[in-house]
Structure 1
Amino acid sequence: MSNVSETLKAVQDMADEAPVTDVTETFVQWQALLGELKEKIAARFELHHDPSTRVWETFGAEAGGPRGSLAGYTGPEVDWMVHSWVGDPEHGFVNLHLTVWLGPHVRVPHLGLALLCWPGGWFYLDSVPRSSLVADGDYYDRYYAPAEQEWLAVREEYEDLSWFTSRAGFIRGSLSPTAYCYSMPRDERHLALVRRLMHEQVDRWLGWVEEAGPVPAAERGALAAADLAVRRNIVERDPANVMGVRYFGEQVTDRLVRALWGGDRSLPRPS
């Protein structure tokens, strides 16, 4: 039987109710982890830094206050990749992302990774589906069924994990059946779990890309449109955007949100 509990509080409430805590040590470890994963991805794909996001390479306070970095990439096989972080690690909050949205030449799920301190730990990883998992049983069997046993084993073994239930129904509906979305202690055992799961996820995902057959040309336009709609909706409806407004104001946060989904991109989308 699973011992996993549940976290129902909003991100801002978790941050507000906790004592001020310097989470720089965990932040540095998680920056390094996402850097390693980005290197794996960059070794497989041709990627170009989109000029529209260069303004966000560093923003906010120089040190010791709210600040961040955001870089968007695209390429022949990658519609939009984002490597970003935002927060104030010296005062207990930081949010890091590495997400890859593939082009419409394949139907491989997109890759979603996120890490957060508030000041407790939190992690998310998922294979964002590009087909209805209920209607397309073969798609489920190919990309999700093989992960079921590992997903259940983690829930059973790690009793200090707390399933994060978003207060936004839309966000709850965006998770696949094998998504990881947990609050956790920031101790060595749980940090090692996150490292293992994320490396395994990226390795598995890269294997899917290599094995994928092509999407018929006539179907690619509709797939690209659906991908963009999903990405934009998830980014714009993310409840954690409230922390950006708190740190940087609504105008800057709106621009950051647009950068996250590629609303101001300069380079073309892959065909």
Structure 2
Amino acid sequence: MSETLKAVQDMADEAPVTDVTATFVQWQDLLAELKEKISARFELLPDPSTKELESFGEDGGPRGSLTGFSGPEIDWMIHSWVGDPEHGFVNLHLTVWLGPHIRVPHLGLALLCWPGGWFYLDSVPRTSLVADGAYYDRYYAPAEERWLAVREEYEDLSWFTSRTGFIRGSLSPTAYCYSMPRDDRHIALVRQLMHEQVDRWLTWVDAAEPVPVEEQEALAATDLAIRRNIVERDPANVMAVRYFGEQVTDRLVRALWGGDRALPRPS
């Protein structure tokens, strides 16, 4: 298995201009399916702070869509995309950050064309996996066999190593973070892995024990700090600056972590 060490902007700049609309549509359909599964389980409301971001940019050029959601059990959910698919770049996200009533890992999903394919999926831990072995055994150990099997079987996957150490440190031991060919075989793999991840995550939510009330405030503060740090330190933000400028990018970044949210956080 190979390794991708180049930054996102370098991959986009060095590749020939390529229309990736067909893959973009497949990625959109996949995230819509997963969002539908999640919406069927949780009560969710769109946050008014992201209303103006549901469609931005210009047709035929850089553009995007971002909607934030919240609910009694969901602290912050983002369904978004940004890019210029006709010219080879698009970045899509579906991330779900749970409320502090349970300690189930958060759900992180992302898809990208630059113009090659890329995907990320992870269970974002809410405790130190090294310190809390029982948490690791419950949520991560069962995924090890599948994770290793994918690495062994799909030789065209290329592990994506971020050039930012903070981002490398944010990945769990069973995260998927790969560059890949945009062919039917690999797109089918991504579809399967993401549906498996969401289905598994939903069973965790249903089986979770409640967090004691006196511990929830601290957990919520930690969750917010993790989310904000990951979003603000994401090196791919440079692509949004390139397309939309610093001011719009700052607003998009705040929306990704809920910095301008209007709905209250769940308690």
Same fold (TM over 0.5): yes
Counterpart secondary structure, 2:168: helix
Provide the residue aligned with 1:28 in structure 2: 25
Q: Can you give the 5+ residue segments of structure 1 that lack an aligned partner in the other structure?
A: none
Provide the residue aligned with 1:54 in structure 2: 51
1:100-145, CA deviations, whole angstroms, 9 ceiling, x for partnerless residues?
Answer: 0000000000000000000000000000000100000000000000
- Residues 1:45 and 2:42 aligned together: yes
The 5 Å alignment of 1:127-166 reads 127-166=123-162
Kindly tell me the number of residue pairs found equivalent between the two proteins.
Answer: 267
Q: 2:239 aligns with which of 219, 236, 243?
A: 243
Aligned mates of 2:14, 2:61 — CA distance in 1: 19
Aligned mates of 1:258, 1:216 — CA distance in 2: 30
1:71-111, CA deviations, whole angstroms, 9 ceiling, x for partnerless residues?
Answer: 00000000000000000000000000000000000000000
- Residues 1:212 and 2:208 aligned together: yes
Counterpart secondary structure, 1:106: coil
- Measure how far apart 1:237 and its partner are: 0.2
- Residues 1:167 and 2:147 aligned together: no
Aligned mates of 1:119, 1:158 — CA distance in 2: 20
- Measure how far apart 1:241 and its partner are: 0.1
Taking every aligned residue pair, what percent have the same amino acid on both sides? 85
Aligned mates of 1:97, 1:13 — CA distance in 2: 21
Aligned mates of 2:221, 2:71 — CA distance in 1: 17
Provide the residue aligned with 1:96 in structure 2: 92
The one-letter amino acid paired with 1:44 is R
The one-letter amino acid paired with 1:232 is R
Q: 1:222 aligns with which of 205, 209, 218?
A: 218
The one-letter amino acid paired with 1:249 is G
- Measure how far apart 1:200 and its partner are: 0.2
- Measure how far apart 1:219 and its partner are: 0.2
TM-score (norm. length: structure 2): 1.00
- Measure how far apart 1:64 and its partner are: 1.1
RMSD, matched Cα: 0.2
Q: 1:12 aligns with which of 1, 9, 12?
A: 9
- Measure how far apart 1:29 and its partner are: 0.5
Aligned mates of 1:91, 1:159 — CA distance in 2: 28
Q: Can you give the 5+ residue segments of structure 2 that lack an aligned partner in the other structure?
A: none
Counterpart secondary structure, 1:152: helix
- Residues 1:253 and 2:255 aligned together: no
Provide the residue aligned with 2:188 in structure 1: 192
- Residues 1:183 and 2:182 aligned together: no
Aligned mates of 1:244, 1:39 — CA distance in 2: 27
The one-letter amino acid paired with 1:191 is I
1:27-51, CA deviations, whole angstroms, 9 ceiling, x for partnerless residues?
Answer: 0000000000000000000000000
Which 4+ residue blocks in structure 1 deviate beyond 6 angstroms?
Answer: none
- Measure how far apart 1:177 and its partner are: 0.1
